[in-house]
Amino acid sequence: MVDFMATRTETLTVDQSHPGVRLDTFLREKFPAASRGALQRLIEQGHIRVNGKTTKPTHAPRAGEEIEVHWPEATPAKAQPEKIPLDILFEDKSLLVVNKPAGLVVHPAAGNEEHTLVNALLHHCKGSLSGIGGVARPGIVHRLDKETSGCMVVAKNDETHLALSEQFAAREVKKVYQALVCGEPARATGEIHAAIARHPTHRKRMAVSDESSGREAHTSYRILERLHAATLMEAQIHTGRTHQIRVHFQFIGHPLVGDATYGARQNVRLKELTNYAAPRVMLHAKELSFAHPGTKKVLKFDAPLPADFKAALKALRAR
């Protein structure tokens, strides 16, 4: 018997059937702040019901079904607070925006439970973080890869978390990146529309896929500066798929500088031509814009390029 004493209950009606989509995947689109694993646990524990009945994560949503999501009281985070310096771009009682350094993992995981952004946030916020992200990732509304630097917004309470998640899901958050790519794209600007799915054989990688098996993904780009055997690009992502920028630039034949996963061969060639080897994937979340859930004012943040990115530009400008 499940106790439904919850912090809140949300109800949504399925507008059309999704025969090829699991319930946990369907809800991941609606509540991007919650991980798929967290949603699976809520379904299995009976906190998520379809037409008033318990179900399984594999259930395919059908038109007209009513889904109730009971968000239970947050479990105390297992991650321990750590006094790790944070570069804070903005902070108030509802949220904070940080400039994440490259090399800092966002949330704890098996084998990497310390020295993460969440550990730093738990210390800085002293317990005032949203619990919706699950016990391992309190406050995390979106994420950046370990090697990616730049702007991230963090929620301090559940109301802010849900409101920001809705903005991300509705594609109302503007996310602009700067990236160094191998080679010189022919077009100064472009749009990449290519669905992304888990790689069929390399399960830690993503790959461009057809729309039947992948999720829609859209990236806009423009060239900022042509360098020696490389190019400085600005990329805006209109969807938030795992490794989206890295996969999309590989797809058009220009993987990111320093990306051994998606561009090993091209990076070997880059080193041969320039004698430069990047210390990481050269990707930086430069700008982040969203409406503050409380004041409704549009906030825009800009994270300056880190030292290693500037060093890469200097090296690749030299002939």
Query: Helix, strand, or coil here: 284?
Result: strand
In 3D space, the residue among 280, 298, 277, 297 whose CA is nearest the CA of residue 289 turns out to be 298
H-helix or E-strand spanning residue 176: strand 174-182
* Residue 309 φ then ψ, to 5°: -70, -45
3-state secondary structure of 318: coil
CB atoms within 10 A of CB 295: 10
234 CB-contact burial (10 Å; exposed 0-12 / middle 13-18 / buried 19+): middle
Please state, in angstroms and rounded to a whole number, the distance separating the CA atoms of residues 47 and 24. 13
Q: At what angle do helices 244-251 and 260-274 cross, to 10 degrees?
A: 60
Q: Indicate the length of the chain as a whole number.
A: 319
User: Which H helix or E strand runs over 179?
Assistant: strand 174-182
Cα angle, residue 161 at apex, residues 155 and 166 outer, rounded to 5°: 135
Number of H helices, E strands in the chain: 7, 15
Which residues are designated catalytic?
145
Spatial distance between the Cα atoms of 202 and 13, rounded to a whole number of angstroms: 36
CA distance 270 to 285: 23
- Residue 275 Rama label (left phi>0; alpha psi -120 to 50; beta): left
* C-alpha–C-alpha distance, residues 213 and 248, integer Å: 17
